[in-house]
Amino acid sequence: MSKLLTGSRKYLLVLGSLWLQIAFASLIVFGFPNLLSGQSVCCGQSYQEKTYIRAGVTVGGIGKMGLTLELRRDNRSVNFNLATFSQNDLGMAVTLRQYFGATGGLSPFTGFGLWGAKQFSNDPEETSGTSFLVRIPLGVDWLLPVLDHSIGVNLALNRALYVKKSPSLIPPNNNSRRIVPLPQFSYRYGLGRRNPPT
* Angstrom distance (rounded) from CA 14 to CA 166: 14
Fold classification of 2-190 (topology level):
Porin (2.40.160)
CB contact set of 29 (below 8 Å; sequence gap of 6+): 36, 71, 78
Domain locations in the chain? Answer: 2-190
For 114-135, the pLDDT digits (tens) are: 999 888 877 655 667 788 999 9
Tell me which DSSP letter residue 20 carries. H
What DSSP element (H or E) covers 149?
Answer: strand 149-163
CB contact set of 161 (below 8 Å; sequence gap of 6+): 132, 133, 134, 177
Of 198, 196, 155, the residue nearest 179 (C-alpha): 155
More confident residue, 44 or 176: 176
Instruction: Kindly state the percentage of the chain with pLDDT values over 90.
Output: 39
